[in-house]
Each structure stands twice: as structure tokens, then as C-alpha cells.
Amino acid sequence: MASLPDPTATLTGAGRAIYEDILARRQAKGVDHLGPYIPLLNHPQLARLIEQLGYFYKYDSALPRDAYQLVVLILAARSGVTFVWDDHVAAARAAGLPEAVIDAVKTAGGAPSAPLPAPFDTVAGLADAAFAFRSIPEALQAQAISRFGVTGLLELVTLCGFYTMMGMVNACFDVPLPHRKES
């Protein structure tokens, strides 16, 4: 197991302040765990910057929550990083992502063979291009701009990159899922 130590008990000075800020920001939004931020806190300045970007995507971006969660689930299914899937599937449902879309993504390993309903077809098409490091077809880009604006298009593409990084952190350092109470 390639995990890194949990440094939170030994952080001091600026590192301690960064940890407390990350913890407070997440708790204020009802998030009950630090997940990949635990290994990242072995480099507090990097953890701070990554968490700020993640916070933006999760809470301040222009994207509809269902589109955001679809990108995350596509990455999870494509990569096989179960932490990401397990940590986001309930949030995807709560955001209104249809169960049929969730099932199609999971069953197809992140690349549904049948077209998804709008606007999820656009999100999945952008994710396909981004995860394959391909240019976005012109018609798909126009459709994305029509549905989400240029801002949303940029957020969708860069969100693919962000969750690729987070998937790598979770997988490379064997980040465990939080223990949650059964409801």
C-alpha cells in the first residue's frame, strides 16, 4: 500500500493554518471528510491551492450540479478509482442526475454506447474528447457553448483535468473512503 502518513496532528505554523482553513471550509459546506487532502497536506501549500480549485468547481462554478457530477462519475468509471465513484454517486443523485444516466456510465465504464439525453450528451461528448486529449469537434463545442456558455465549456474541460488529478491522488496513495453512519 502506497499511502502517505496523515500529517494533520503534527502540522505547525503555516501548514497548521492551511489545514485548519481547508477543514473549516469543507465543514461549513457539510463535508465530513478530507479524503485526498490528507495525503496532500504533506505539502500544505500544494494542498491549499488544489483545495481552492476544487472548492471553486464544487461550490462556485457556473456548471449545473448534475453536469459537474456527470463529469466526476465518467472519470471514476473510466479510471476505476472507486473512491471517486463511491464518494460522488449519492451527490450525483441528489443533484438530479437521472439514474438511467448513472447506470449507463457505470455499465459502460464511463463511455456509454447509446447517446445520453440532453444536456448529458454534450457533457459526455466533451468528457470523451478531454479524457482522450483530442480537439473538441466544432459542432460539439458550439452545442456546449449554447447550453453552458463559454465559461461552462471551459469549466467542463478543466474539470476533467482536475478530477483526473484527484483520481490519481486517491489511487496512488490508497485514500480510504470515510466511515459514514448508515442512514
pLDDT at res. 183: 41
Whether residue 3 is contained in a domain is answered as no
Geometric angle at alpha carbon 118, from 124 and 149, rounded to 5° = 75
Confidence at 20, pLDDT banded by 50, 70, 90: very high
pLDDT at res. 114: 83
Helical segments of the chain, H only: 13-28, 37-40, 44-55, 65-79, 82-94, 99-107, 120-131, 138-172
Whether residue 1 is contained in a domain is answered as no
pLDDT at res. 182: 47
What mean pLDDT value characterizes the chain? 94
The average pLDDT across 33-45 equals: 96
In this structure, what is the dihedral angle of CA atoms 60, 65, 67, 71, given to the nearest 10 degrees? 80
- Same structural domain for residues 72 and 162? yes
- Same structural domain for residues 155 and 93? yes
Closest CA to 123 of 146, 156, 98: 156
- Same structural domain for residues 87 and 23? no
For 79-94, the pLDDT digits (tens) are: 999 989 999 999 999 9
Which domain does 20 fall in, by range? 13-60
The average pLDDT across 54-71 equals: 96
Whether residue 145 is contained in a domain is answered as yes
| Separation between Cα atoms, residue 135 and residue 139, nearest integer Å | 12
Geometric angle at alpha carbon 155, from 150 and 160, rounded to 5° = 135
- Same structural domain for residues 96 and 159? yes
> CA of 142: how far to CAs of 48, 51, 149, 150, in Å?
35, 31, 9, 9
Whether residue 78 is contained in a domain is answered as yes
Closest CA to 85 of 173, 163, 151: 163
Higher pLDDT, 33 or 156: 156
- Same structural domain for residues 72 and 18? no
The cell numbers describing 95, all together, are 443533484
